[in-house]
Amino acid sequence: MLNPYLKLNPKVFDEDVEKKATRDGYGEALAELGEKDKDVVVLTGDLSESTRCEQFAKKFPERFFECGVAEQNMAAVAAGLAKEGKIPFISSYATFSPGKNWETIRTTIIYSQANVKIAGHHAGIMTGPDGATHQATEDIAITRAWPKVTIFNPCDSIEAKKATLEAVKIQGPVYLRFTRDKSPIITTDETPFELSKVQTFWTSENPQVSIFATGYILYYALLAAAELEEEGIKTLVLNVSTIKPADEKGIISAAAETGAVVTVEDHQVAGGLGGMISEVLAKNLPSPVEFVGLQDTFAESGKPQELIEKYGLGKTAIKKAVKKVISRK
């Protein structure tokens, strides 16, 4: 049932599962990259602790730039550093970067294909008590529209570290999406991580639906799959850690095997993972699709788990979407 490379055992389906924020994996990777590559530099907008840049800043102060509350300037400075051969990481809340400085990134980084890595933190309603102003739920949509950008949305802290390390190998702009709150650790250091490859994390014999999930919300898709299995409903659960470029071959293969698709994300259903999957299938293999995510709404302030349930992102909503899409086959 479960991918053998995962950190999954019966305990994964308990609330006591080990948890760590994806932003922590980012901070660990920055410190490691600083040791390996003298061209790696880090910039932040007065958020070094929240974005986990402080370890890099302490170890490599000459390569750390505190730009203050000036996200547009931060992006432009990073573009200049990239043109001089540096590999800049810019770190802020995703509502500010890429949110507030979207046009500056577009013009100075994306248009010129500057080698800048954009780390958007506190993404999704997982941000919780900070409320809608700080819950970035549109960031995948606004970055996915940029030409020639790579987008990573890791499922846990271990994968977040791998995605950050992978970003340095990519020549050109990369967007990395991270969450604030702790989430279950699903993978291990040995779990394969490949650019633009969907990974099957749960498989049943003769599956009836493919569940594509991205980010920490993948955990709830696995919970749903386990309960659906007990009800006699067979599924595939696929981890989509790379939003762009899309793994068209993998998406089409999974959809062809099951004939029905559910997408799961902590993001608006418009323009995010659901949009990407639907675009691939519309061109290649039209299939019934149901979307689990924010349904054209902002969220309110609250505890992450409460918000996940209220706005229909948890296992109950996923199970409902699976049953609905199967009925449409």
320 sits in which H/E element: helix 315-327
DSSP state of 92: E
Pair of tokens at residue 262: 């559910």
What's the CA gap between 58 and 239, in Å, rounded?
34
Is cis: bond before 147, omega within 30 of 0?
no
Report phi then psi at 55, rounded to 5.
Answer: -65, -45
Q: What is the DSSP string of 8-67?
A: -SGGGGSTTS-EE-HHHHHHHHHHHHHHH-TTEEEEESS-TTTTT-HHHHHH-GGGEEE-
* Residue 71: active-site member: yes
Residues paired with residue 40 on neighbouring β-strands, in sequence order: 87
Given 15, 49, 66, 71, which residue is catalytic?
A: 71
Cβ atoms < 10 Å from Cβ of 248? 17
DSSP state of 156: S
Which residues make Cβ contacts (< 8 Å) with residue 172, sequence separation at least 6?
113, 114, 115, 148, 149, 150
What's the CA gap between 274 and 263, in Å, rounded?
5
Pair of tokens at residue 107: 């013009």
Widest CA span in the chain: 59
Residue 41's Cβ-side half-sphere holds a number of Cα atoms within 13 Å equal to 24
Which residues make Cβ contacts (< 8 Å) with residue 315, sequence separation at least 6?
220, 221, 223, 224, 227
Residues tagged active-site: 71
